[in-house]
Amino acid sequence: MTIELASIPSFSAAEALDVAERLYGICGDVACLPSERDQNFLISGSEGNDNENDDGSGGAGRCGSRFVLKFANAEDGPPLLDFQNQAMRRADESGADCRVPRVLRSLLGREIESAGNPRTGVVHRVRVLTWIEGRVLAQWDARDAPLLQSIGTALAKIDLALRDFTHPAMHRKLQWDLRQAPLAQEHLGLLPGSKRAQIERHLERWQGIDWDALRHGVIHGDANDHNVLIGGGRMTGLLDFGDMAFTATVCELAIALAYAMLGQRRPIDAAAPLLRAYHRVLPLTEAEQLALPVLLLSRLSMSVCYSAHNRARNPHDPYQVVSEAGAWDLLERLEPLAADGSLAWSLR
């Protein structure tokens, strides 16, 4: 299942600001933010960033703050968005020393509103989240051990906080869920012939994972280098809970490792501090350690498949392929280790 273009919101900046003012009492300058399946806008007031103390109960001071206005994909209904909202609250209260966005209530006291696109007639669910300051990991070149350790520690603490969390919408079929990796195979024909066999091999290894032996729970599922915020040399925030699902918990670590290793000359050296820090907080079982390298390579394989699909259908949106070159480069660097089986030992 891939994202239908018709389901992706397409509000103009002026239309977005009108919705923000009408439903939330928010005004200011508006700027587009990247997203794969939704549409996000940053709305910045002129009086500084005071939204972090906003309890979401009213409109006072909202025009002097910064917020993220989110139009949901037309396929995403209130149960799914409530799932995300509740999980963010759980993570926020977890004591992970890692900030996550908070949900701002509308002027009518609702966490989820609706707005119709005046040009398409499609109705989309609307939320407003607080803005969190910080640089994303993709902008941070010095990925030293303390930084990577902080990522592993924070993600493990969030996974622990979500371990017993349940919600009716958590059992979703999501293309980015590593349990659904075979969905990416329908795009293999878009890959260069010289590289297609490599991806086929990685996805074939996925078939050997013993999912019943892995612990399951709700995970964030997308700790990529544009969702991890860095400040003071450590991870300070986690954005975008839109890819959450109930799946194998170790998938969280596999995804985080994949993005932490992107662009690194010695990727295994970058993986080690993050992995060990995660393991100290949430020790991996033997089955999870065995599955981890396969899941890591599967995530990278999914990334290049979906990037090829997104580029073919929407060639003018660079965000849709933002990690493609890095994913191919990392796959090439890891290929010798995957071929002789030593990647499994390198990640232990």
φ, ψ for residue 85 (rounded to 5)?
A: -60, -45
SS3 (DSSP) at 35? coil
Those residues with Cβ within 8 angstroms of residue 194's Cβ, 6 or more apart along the chain or in another chain: none
In the structure encoding, which two tokens stand for residue 196, read together? 């297609």
3-state DSSP helix/strand/coil % of the chain, to nearest 5? 50, 15, 35
Residue type, 290: L
Helix/strand/coil (H/E/C) assignment for every residue in 50-81 = CHHHCCCCCCCCHHHCEEEEEECCCCCCHHHH
User: 94 with 112: CB under 8 angstroms?
Assistant: no
> Which CATH architecture describes the domain 7-132?
2-Layer Sandwich (3.30)
N-to-C CA span, the chain? 33
pLDDT the model gives residue 49: 40
State the average pLDDT over residues 225-233. 93
Domain extent listing, the chain: 7-132, 136-346
C-alpha distance from residue 24 to each of 49, 129, 161, 323 (Å)? 17, 11, 30, 34
265-303 confidence digits (pLDDT tens): 899 999 999 999 999 999 999 999 999 999 999 999 999
Beta strands in 39-175 (DSSP E): 39-44, 66-71, 103-104, 113-116, 123-130, 135-136
In the CATH scheme, what is the homologous superfamily, with its name and number, of domain 136-346?
Answer: Aminoglycoside phosphotransferase (APH), C-terminal lobe (3.90.1200.10)
pLDDT confidence of 320, banded at 50, 70, 90? low
Q: What letter would DSSP give residue 302?
A: H
Instruction: Quickly state the pLDDT bin for 53 (edges 50, 70, 90).
Output: very low
- Residue 335: strand, helix, or coil: helix
Q: What angle do CA 176, 180, 185 make, to 5 degrees?
A: 90
Q: What is the pLDDT of residues 325-334, one digit of tens each?
A: 889 999 999 9
pTM confidence score: 0.90
